[in-house]
Structure formats: structure tokens, C-alpha cells
């Protein structure tokens, strides 16, 4: 297969496996999504979905969030890890949303990335899932799979995102990034990987990746 045929194969296979795409993080609006994505750094989505109901029961908007202290937020989100940094970020960005954006999450990569504890990936998730703006947030699953599928050299997530945006049609970005995440978790994980179940890598995988797997 040439590169375009590989890309088409990926798109069609993912569409077949995930015709309707579940959203990994539970949320009800852009603010709760922003907080959930921030909490998901170095934490599983399952754990985040266990913690956010406890936090949002006390504060599901920036006005209520700033009534809590950083310490109170930290205690609730502690199981998500990095709680000192995340609690300061949540408190700080809630203040900024009130002071600069009328308490609303801005529909802008630039403004989102100015918020404390919000990086490019978090901003991309919010823009795509909350506002439907085409974006391609790259997490560890997408980074791993794009390399396994020989669609990027995978030196870093910045390069992987550029390559993904270049080879996949823009109107599919928002679906594809979620489909690839689910596929990575279910069929092509970093640990306990069974190539026989991983139809995409088995069909179009990078030769060195397949050779290394088969040697094991």
C-alpha cells in the first residue's frame, strides 16, 4: 500500500469500529470539560470521571470554584496526581475566566493557552469537543499509533500533530483523534500488545515495529 492507501485504510477501519464515538471525559459544558481535561494529565480518564462528580458537586462553574480555597480543591483532586499544580491551575484559570471572559471559556486557542495549567493539547481538546473547531490533540496513544502505522517519525508530539493534520482530512480530525485514542486503548496498547488483535498495525505497520514484535 502507498501512503494514501494506508491513510484510507485507517479512516475506514476506525469508522467501522467506532461508528458512534464515546467521549472519554464526562462533562456537561465547556468549563467542566476544561477542568476534566486539565485533571487528566498523567491520570486515567476512568479516575478523572470518578473525581469530577465530587468536585463539580461543590463547584461546576468558575464563580463557585473561586469560593473554594486552593487547598480544598487539592484535597478533592488528590487521587488524580499532580494535585498541587492542578489545584492552583483550576483556581487561577477560574479567576481569569471571570475577570477577562465574563466567566465563559473562550473559543480561542490563543486565550485558552494563556490560562494557567492549560497547554496546547488541553486547548485542542476543548476546541474540538466543546466548540467543534477542527483540532488534532495528540496524546500518548495517538503518538504511539501514528509511529506504529508509519505515518510519522514520532520524534515528538508536536511533529506527530503536524503530520496527522497534513495527512488526514480536516473535517475528520475531531472524530479521528478520539477514534485513534479508543483504538490504542483497546487494540494497540503500549503494554500487553497482541498484534493479532491489532488489525491496523498488522496490515500497515512500520517494518521495524513488526520485526521487533515478531522477534519477541
DSSP labels, the chain: --HHHHHHHHHHHHHHH-SS---SS--SSHHHHHHHHHHTTTS-HHHHHHHHHHHHHH-SSHHHHTTS-HHHHHHHHGGGS-HHHHHHHHHHHHHHHHHHHTTS--S-HHHHHTSTT--HHHHHHHHHHTT--------HHHHHHHHHTTS---S-HHHHHHHHHHHS-GGGHHHHHHHHHHHHHHTS-SSS--GGG-HHHHHH--HHHHHHHHH-
| Residues present in the chain in total | 216
| Enzyme catalytic residues | 121, 139
Among candidate residues 138, 140, 186, the one with its CA nearest the CA of residue 164: 138
Three cell numbers, residue 77: 483532586
Cβ atoms within 10 Å of 171's Cβ, excluding its own: 9
Amino acid at each position: 500500500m502507498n501512503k494514501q492507501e494506508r491513510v484510507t485504510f485507517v479512516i475506514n477501519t476506525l469508522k467501522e469500529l467506532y461508528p458512534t464515538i464515546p467521549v472519554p471525559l464526562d462533562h456537561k459544558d465547556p468549563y467542566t470539560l476544561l477542568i476534566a481535561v486539565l485533571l487528566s494529565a498523567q491520570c486515567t480518564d476512568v479516575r478523572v470521571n470518578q473525581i469530577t462528580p465530587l468536585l463539580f458537586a461543590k463547584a461546576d462553574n468558575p464563580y463557585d470554584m473561586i469560593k473554594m480555597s486552593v487547598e480544598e480543591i487539592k484535597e478533592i483532586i488528590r487521587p488524580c496526581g499532580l494535585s498541587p499544580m492542578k489545584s492552583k491551575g483550576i483556581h487561577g484559570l477560574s479567576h481569569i475566566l471571570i475577570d477577562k471572559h465574563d466567566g465563559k471559556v473562550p473559543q480561542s486557542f490563543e486565550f485558552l493557552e494563556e490560562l494557567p495549567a492549560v497547554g496546547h493539547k488541553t486547548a485542542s481538546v476543548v476546541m474540538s469537543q466543546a466548540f467543534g473547531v477542527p483540532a488534532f490533540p495528540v496524546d500518548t496513544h495517538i503518538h504511539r499509533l501514528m509511529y506504529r502505522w508509519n505515518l510519522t517519525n514520532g520524534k515528538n508530539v508536536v511533529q506527530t500533530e503536524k503530520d496527522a493534520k497534513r495527512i488526514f482530512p480536516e473535517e475528520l480530525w475531531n472524530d479521528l483523534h478520539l477514534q485513534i485514542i479508543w483504538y490504542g486503548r483497546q487494540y494497540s496498547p503500549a503494554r500487553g500488545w497482541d498484534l493479532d488483535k491489532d488489525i491496523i498495525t498488522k496490515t500497515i505497520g512500520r517494518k521495524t515495529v513488526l520485526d521487533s514484535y515478531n522477534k519477541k
